[in-house]
């Protein structure tokens, strides 16, 4: 069953936020998983990326990023930062719903359509939620139902025969798969171009 593209960012946030909310009282100033960001900074990165995708679909640039920058107040408490992910996902979902199928916008990893940006947002939310869950001591992986269409849309060369959630984590350099070594974290990328 495929989730409508316009619902994918909201559905991704709905899966991710309960995991993050369990760790509200933990130390968010520590490093998030194997990244150089703190857990707090990773929350801001998700908000910036997802909101930025809505901005790209609205402005429709062909060769550049936007001047739009969003994020959380540096003094905002963790629950408010988590809430910002839901707000960003809702903004993008509404934008995807309102965007004509022929609209294209720039991304350095491939000029894309509304479905592509919805899939990109799902990667940001689901994969970084996995990073944050690991940091917070939670066992969580992206749900297969969401990951399957993201992998199909953005990772055409993904290995076959594995659970979609695990495949998405492999595609983004987070894990190895049986008989498939882990990608170097800094070398992965999705393919946003429409195929």
- Reported as a single tens digit per residue, the pLDDT across 79-131 is 999 999 999 999 999 999 999 999 999 999 999 999 999 999 999 999 999 99
Specify the pTM: 0.95
* Structural domains of the chain in order of their starting residue, each with its CATH number: 5-187 (1.20.120.450)
| pLDDT > 70 fraction of the chain, expressed in percent and rounded | 100
If DSSP states are collapsed to H, E and C, what string results for the chain? CCCCHHHHHHHHHHHHHHHHHHCCCCCCCCECCCCCCEHHHHHHHHHHHHHHHHHHHHHCCCCCCCCCCCCCCCCCCHHHHHHHHHHHHHHHHHHHHHCCCCCCECCCCCCECHHHHHHHHHHHHHHHHHHHHHHHCCCCCCCHHHHHHHHHHHCCCCCCCCCHHHHHHHHCCCCCECCECCCCHHHCCCCCCCC
* pLDDT computed for residue 98 by the predictor: 98
Structure tokens, 41:
């900074």
Q: Is it the case that residue 190 has pLDDT exceeding 80?
A: yes
Chain-wide mean pLDDT for the chain?
94
Q: How confident is the model at residue 65 (pLDDT cuts 50, 70, 90)?
A: confident
> Does residue 2 contact residue 133 with C-beta atoms inside 8 Å?
no
At residue 105, φ and ψ (nearest 5 deg) are -145, 155
| pLDDT > 90 fraction of the chain, expressed in percent and rounded | 84
Mean pLDDT of 175-194: 90
Per-residue pLDDT tens over the stretch 137-148: 999 999 999 999
How many CB atoms lie under 10 A from the CB of residue 166? 19
* pLDDT computed for residue 64 by the predictor: 85
Mean pLDDT of 66-73: 76
Mean pLDDT of 27-55: 95
Mean pLDDT of 43-64: 94
How many CB atoms lie under 10 A from the CB of residue 25? 7
Q: Is it the case that residue 70 has pLDDT exceeding 80?
A: no
Mean pLDDT of 137-160: 96
């Amino acid at each position: 069953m495929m989730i409508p593209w316009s619902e994918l960012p909201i559905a991704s946030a709905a899966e991710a936020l309960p995991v993050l909310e369990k760790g509200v009282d933990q130390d968010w100033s520590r490093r998030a998983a194997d990244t150089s960001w703190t857990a707090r900074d990773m929350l801001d990165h998700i908000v910036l990326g997802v909101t930025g995708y809505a901005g790209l679909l609205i402005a429709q640039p062909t060769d550049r990023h936007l001047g739009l920058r969003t994020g959380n107040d540096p003094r905002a408490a963790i629950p408010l930062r988590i809430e910002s992910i839901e707000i960003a996902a809702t903004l993008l979902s509404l934008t995807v719903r309102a965007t004509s199928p022929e609209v294209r916008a720039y991304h350095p990893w491939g000029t894309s359509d509304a479905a592509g940006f919805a899939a990109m947002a799902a990667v940001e939310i689901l994969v970084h939620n996995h990073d944050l869950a690991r940091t917070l001591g939670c066992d969580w992986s992206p749900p297969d139902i969401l990951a399957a269409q993201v992998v199909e849309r953005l990772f055409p060369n993904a290995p076959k025969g594995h659970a979609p959630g695990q495949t998405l984590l492999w595609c983004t350099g987070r894990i190895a798969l049986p008989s498939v070594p882990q990608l170097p974290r800094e070398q992965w990328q999705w393919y946003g171009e429409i195929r």
